[in-house]
Structures are given as structure tokens and as C-alpha cells.
Structure 1
Amino acid sequence: MEFTWTASTERELDAQGSKLQVLEYSAAPMESPVNGYHQPLSRPGRWRQLAVHVTGQPGSAVLEPGALQYLRGDLDIQAVNAGGGSGLGGFLRGAVTAAATGEGLYKTAYKGSGILYTEPTRLHLLLGELRGESLIVDDGAFVACVGDVQVGRHINHGFAQAVGSGEGRVQPKLTGSGLFALKSPVPPEEFQVLELNNETLKVDGNLVVAYTDGLEFKVERSARGLLGSGKTGEGFVQAYRGTGRVWLAPTLPLHLS
């Protein structure tokens, strides 16, 4: 059976003159059902596309390389070296370079005024706002940001210190004021944005897609945890301490089962 795809706005977020919009494509059969017969129907899964509205004098946006499908407007394109590194675990393992090589990870910047459309994906798109702060993002989750936001890198030594390795995990770091979009197998409605106020959060499993860098992050040993050992039964938990925000997806195991 053939289907036609219809787009609708799933959600949008705007602030400080910038705007992100998630378009969702759903399938409908092209053929009408036969009169008097039950027609079982298995529809294809939905697809999502991000529209990044760039405005200002000039406005600016950054996209993950390969994310762009097409654009409209007067936008100049340039490569930005955000640095790179290898990752362990993560919602989605990104195509990043090893920290030891010193190679740069390039992202694509757009300046001017117009609209950028990303390649459709079956993953969900999580929208958020930066308020003059820095956000550490899980490997492979970054899609785009718009506004006064710089994309760099953060070397996370938490896991390396726990296992005695000399290399850290390198993750994207967004700094400034503006909007950002992340991709995840978990719908945005299932995320919990936890506001920590001089508190401690311990997570057994890789359920955090992003956190503000005002928080201290460590990987600590636990009787059971993310990386269990067959000999000792010991594992690890991720600990976040201080004041800041954490994007947590407690339902992730249900989507991956």
C-alpha cells in the first residue's frame, strides 16, 4: 500500500528573536478502503524534521555536519572547529575523533537571515533554552543551536578517573544565550528537567542527555550499576552535585527493550 506524508507542527520554542520548530510527518493511505470489508492497516512510523529560524543583524545558527537538508533565505555557510574526542556509552554514539589525536570536529555555522531544515529522522527532538550558561551534551545528541551560542568541547574525566584510564570522554559544550535542539529515542514529554539546588543526584544507568556545567560530575562505584563486573559484581553510578539543571530520561530502557 502507498502512503502520502502530511506535515504538522509538533512543537516549537522561541526566545530572544530565535525560533526552533519541530515538524512531524505522519502517513495516510492513498487508497480508500473497500466498502463492506475490514482493512487492517499498519502505518509507517512518524518522521520529524527541525526548522531553525535564523534572524538578527545578522543571526547565527550551528548545525551538526550532514544535518542540513535545505535552506531558504540569505545565509552564509562556514565550518566551525568545535574540537572533538571519543565517547563511551551515550544515547547515540557520535562520529567524533579520539582525544589523543588532536583532530578537530567541525560543525557547520550559518549567518544571516532565513530558515534551515534538517534531514528527517525517526528520533524525537528535544528543544531547550540556554540562559547565559553552558550545557554539556551527550555524544551524538546535538542537532542544532541558534542565537548567541558557541559550540565547543568538554573533556569529561569522570569515567576515566573511575577506571584508571588516562583519556577522558569528550562531549559537545554549548555556551551562551539561545535555543538548542537534541535528538533522542525518548519523547520530550517523558524527560524530567531536574533543577538541583546545592543537591546530589545519582543515576544508575546512562539516562542523562545533558546537564549544565555548574554541576560537578563524577562516576562512582556502586554495588550495581552501569558497567557491572563479572568477578566482583561492582559497577558505577553517575553523580551530579551542586546547583544546575539535568535533562533525565527515566523511560529510556523501555524504548530500547
Structure 2
Amino acid sequence: MAFTINNLTDNSNTVIKDKVGSFTVLEYIKDLSCTSVGEATAQYYMSKSNMHRKQLMIEINNSEIMMRAGAMQYTVGNMEMTTGVKGAGGAVRGFLSGAATGTGSIKPLYNGTGTILLEPTYKYIWLIDVDNDEIVMDDGLFLACETTLKIGVVARSNFSSAVLGGEGLFNMSASGKGVIALEAPVPAEEAVVIELQNDVLKVDGNFAMMWSNTLNFTVEKSGKTKMGSMASGEGLVNVYRGTGTVWLAPPSN
């Protein structure tokens, strides 16, 4: 069985923005499907602001990937989709973990050989090669990954860090070795990457999009006393302590 996809990667309006393993990020230079002056005007200014439609293409060869529910646009080739859920208990666990992390209850698995195109997005697609490491993601960033990675749920260390820190009670984690795709609010080249060696990072707001699971995340007062925190105007801050890496969105976002 063989197939050819024409006018996709060989289209002059399409560029390959990034490629890691079997994951490829396509970016459309212009939106050529405008049907009104209003749409054309909006697309013009969006293009000037670096807002381009992007699409994730995944090519699998006798392998398997996991995807965010509802993200698939079309598939070509000999592959099958399963839920990866075994029995009612698995469905309940999937629902609870999905609701906790904001990623959807059931994440479909696609295995076989072929090409998968995900729904286009104006957000930014990050491709991360996890190499025998474990990362924790902000809620809702997960898009797709190789099933060689172990996807889990990490509970916040205490209730106050979840509620007061704005990070939610749980976050999704990815560990092992494989490629993961995230749908982020900022391009990867704008992310501020901070590497800690037995040190402390304090962030005013939930700007952290991803961090090493080796770090201890808590929420603390910005000052030594409650009155001092109030006087500084900062109040509570998210604190990442230990050895590891934190990826921050630019504060303007």
C-alpha cells in the first residue's frame, strides 16, 4: 500500500518551521482562502504580527503516537485508532486525569504506518525531544507525543500551591525518551529558559509553561512577613526550588 500527498509540503505557501523525528511543524505564509475584505484586512495585520496558521504533521512507520482528543484533521495510510482504555475503570481514571490536567479525558492512540495531520492553529507548536528526563507541563499545552514516553499526572505538593499559584491541582508530566508536541501561547524562541543548580526561582504569576519534575513547586509570600508581602505589592509568588530547568513565557504575555 502506498500513497502520495501533493500540494502540502511542496506548496510555495508552506514552509517547514520545525522537524524532530517523525514530527513536522508546517507554517502557512499567507491565508489564501479569504472571502471578504474584512477577512483579508484581518489576515494582513495578523501576518505582520507574525500570526500564521500552523499545522502538525506526524509520520509513523509501524509505530504509535498519542494525541489530544479532537485534534486530528485527517489521516492517510494503514493505521488504526484506539482509546488505550481498558474497561470502565480505565475510562473513569482517564476522565479524572484529563479533567484534572485540562487535556481532555481520553487521548486517542494511532498505530500503524501513515501520515496524520492535526487541526491548524494560530498558536505555536513546540517539538521537544525528551531524552531520559521528566518534564511537567502547564495545563492544556499537550498536543501529541510518541508512546515511548510515559504520560502521567503530577499532583501539586500542597493545596495552597495549586489554588494560590494558579497552576491547578494537577499537571501532566512526560518521562522517558521520545518526542512530544506542545501547543504554546508564545514561540519557542521567545521562551526564557532558566537553569537552576540547587537554587530558587520566584515567579509573580503563572508564566511558567514547563519545568523539570526534579524541582519542588510551592507558593510562598514574596516577603518575610505577610505585611511585607502586601507592602511590596507582589503578595504571593510561585517558587521553583532545587536543580532543574524552567521555561517561562515573556512577562508581557
TM-score scaled by structure 2? 0.73
Could you tell me which runs of 5 or more consecutive residues in structure 1 were left unpaired when the two chains were aligned: 31-39, 88-93, 97-104, 224-228
Aligned-residue offset at 1:254: 2.8
Contact between 2:163 and 2:169, CA under 8 Å: does it hold in 1?
Answer: no
The equivalent residue for 2:57 is 51
- Give yes or no for contact 2:72–2:118 (8 Å, CA) kept in 1: yes
User: Take 1:114 and 1:60, find their aligned partners in 2: how far apart are those partners?
Assistant: 10
CA deviation vs aligned residue, 1:124-180 (integer Å, no higher than 9, x gap): 11111111222211111111112511222222244535769xxx6122121221011
- Alpha-carbon spacing, 1:184–1:204, altered in 2? closer, same or farther (3 Å): same
| Residue number in structure 1 paired with 2:191 | 191
Q: Is the 8 A contact 1:54 1:146 kept in 2?
A: no
For residues 163 and 170 of structure 1, what CA distance do their matches in structure 2 show?
Answer: 10
User: 1:129 and 1:193, CA in 2 relative to 1: closer, same or farther beyond 3 A?
Assistant: farther
Q: 1:162 touches 1:221 (CA, 8 Å); kept in 2?
A: no
Q: Identify which of 6, 16, 23 aligns with 2:26.
A: 23
Whole-Å Cα distance in 2 between the matches of residues 162 and 71 of structure 1?
38
**Which residue of 65, 72, 95 maps to 2:69?**
65
Higher normalized strand content (fraction of residues): 1
Q: Name the CA distance, whole Å, in 1 between partners of 2:188 and 2:58.
A: 18
Equivalences for 1:50-199 in 2 at 5 Å? 50-55=56-61, 58-80=62-84, 82=94, 83-86=97-100, 94=102, 105-158=105-158, 160=160, 169-199=169-199
Measure the CA separation in 1 of the matches of 2:138 and 2:158.
14
2:204 maps to which residue?
204
User: Structure 1 length as normaliser, TM-score?
Assistant: 0.72
Query: What is the DSSP-based 3-state SS (H/G/I as helix, E as strand, rest coil) of the residue aligned with 1:214?
Result: coil
User: C-alpha distance in 1, partners of 2:252/2:124?
Assistant: 15
CA shift in 2, pair 1:195/1:113, >3 Å: farther
Q: CA deviation at 1:247?
A: 1.6
Alignment-derived partner of residue 19 in structure 2? 12
Name the Cα RMSD after superposition: 3.2
Q: Would the alpha carbon gap of residues 27 and 79 (structure 1) be closer, same or farther in structure 2, given more than 3 Å must change?
A: same
Query: CA 1:241 to 1:149, structure 2 compared with 1: closer, same or farther past 3 Å?
Result: same
CA-CA distance at 1:41 after TM superposition: 9.5
Q: Higher helix fraction: Structure 1 or Structure 2? A: 2
- Cα gap change, 1:10 to 1:219, in 2 (>3 Å): same
Question: CA offsets per residue over residues 54-95 of structure 1, 9 Å max, x none?
Answer: 23xx412111101111112222211145523446xxxxxx36
**What amino acid does structure 1 have at the position aligned with 2:252?**
L
Give the direction of change, closer, same or farther, for the CA distance of 1:159–1:41 in structure 2 (3 Å limit). closer
Work out the CA distance in 2 between the residues paired with 1:159 and 1:213: 18
Percent identity of equivalent pairs = 33
- DSSP-derived class of the 1:84 partner: helix
| 1:12 counterpart letter in structure 2 | K
- State how far apart, in whole Å, the 2-side matches of 1:144 and 1:95 are: 11
Q: In the alignment, residue 177 of structure 1 is paired with which amino acid?
A: K
> For 2:78 and 2:186, how far apart are their aligned partners in 1?
34
For 1:145, give the aligned amino acid.
C
Q: Post-superposition shift, 1:120?
A: 0.2
Residues 245 and 184 of structure 1, relative CA distance in 2, 3 Å threshold: same
Per-residue CA deviation, residues 98-132 of structure 1 (Å, 9 max, x unaligned), is xxxxxxx2111112222221100010111111112
Q: AA paired with 1:72? A: V
Checking the alignment, whether the CA contact within 8 Å between 1:210 and 1:247 is kept in structure 2 is yes
